[in-house]
Amino acid sequence: MRGIYTSVILIILLNIVGCASVETQFHDVSASEIKKEERIQREMVLNVAEREEIRVLRVAYPIMVANAPLCSKVAHTAGLGFWSEFDFKKDERPFAKRSLFVDENVRVRFVHPNSPAAIGGIQVDDILVVVNGKEIVSGRKGDKTYKNIFKNYKKDSFSAVFKRKNNIYNVELKFDEQCDYKVRYDYRDSEINAWADGKRVVIARGILRFAEDDHTLAGVIAHELAHNVMVHAHKVKHNASVGALAGFVLDRVVIGYADIDDGGIFSEFGKSLGWGAHSVKMEQEADYVGLYFMERAGYDISIMPHFWRKMASENYDKAIGMETSHPTSVKRFIALEKTRAEIAKKKRAGAPLLPNKNNRSFRVIKTDLEYEK
Ligand SMILES: [Zn+2]
* Ion ligand 1, residue ranges at CB < 5 A: 256-257, 283, 286
- Interval between CA 267 and ligand 1 midpoint (Å): 14
- Interval between CA 101 and ligand 1 midpoint (Å): 37
Q: pLDDT digit string (tens) for 353-366?
A: 999 987 655 566 66
Query: Which residue ranges in the chain fall short of pLDDT 70?
Result: 1-19, 234-278, 315-328, 359-373
Confirm if 74 and 180 have CB atoms less than 8 A apart.
yes
- Tell me what pLDDT residue 247 has: 29
- Interval between CA 71 and ligand 1 midpoint (Å): 18
Helix axes 275-296, 265-272, angle to 10 degrees: 110
Triad 249, 252, 254: Cα angle to 5°: 95
Domains of the chain and CATH, by start? 31-178 (2.30.42.10), 181-372 (no CATH)
- Interval between CA 259 and ligand 1 midpoint (Å): 8
Triad 88, 90, 92: Cα angle to 5°: 60
- Interval between CA 51 and ligand 1 midpoint (Å): 26
- Interval between CA 228 and ligand 1 midpoint (Å): 10
Extended beta strands in 92-189, E state = 107-111, 127-131, 134-135, 157-164, 167-174, 176-179, 182-186
- Tell me what pLDDT residue 80 has: 94
For residue 334, give the nearest of 351, 309, 316 by alpha carbon: 309
- Interval between CA 50 and ligand 1 midpoint (Å): 26
Q: pLDDT digit string (tens) for 287-324?
A: 999 999 999 999 999 999 888 778 777 765 555 555 55
- Interval between CA 9 and ligand 1 midpoint (Å): 57
Confirm if 196 and 227 have CB atoms less than 8 A apart.
yes
Confirm if 117 and 111 have CB atoms less than 8 A apart.
yes
Instruction: Calculate the CA dihedral of residues 174, 162, 48, 115 and round it to 10 degrees.
Output: 20
Report the predicted TM-score, pTM, of the whole model to 2 decimal places.
Answer: 0.81
- Interval between CA 172 and ligand 1 midpoint (Å): 39
For residue 329, give the nearest of 341, 343, 317 by alpha carbon: 317
- Tell me what pLDDT residue 237 has: 53
Classified as helix, coil or strand, 103 is coil
Under 8 Å CB-to-CB from 260, ≥6 apart: which residues?
A: 311, 312, 314, 315, 318, 319, 324, 326, 329
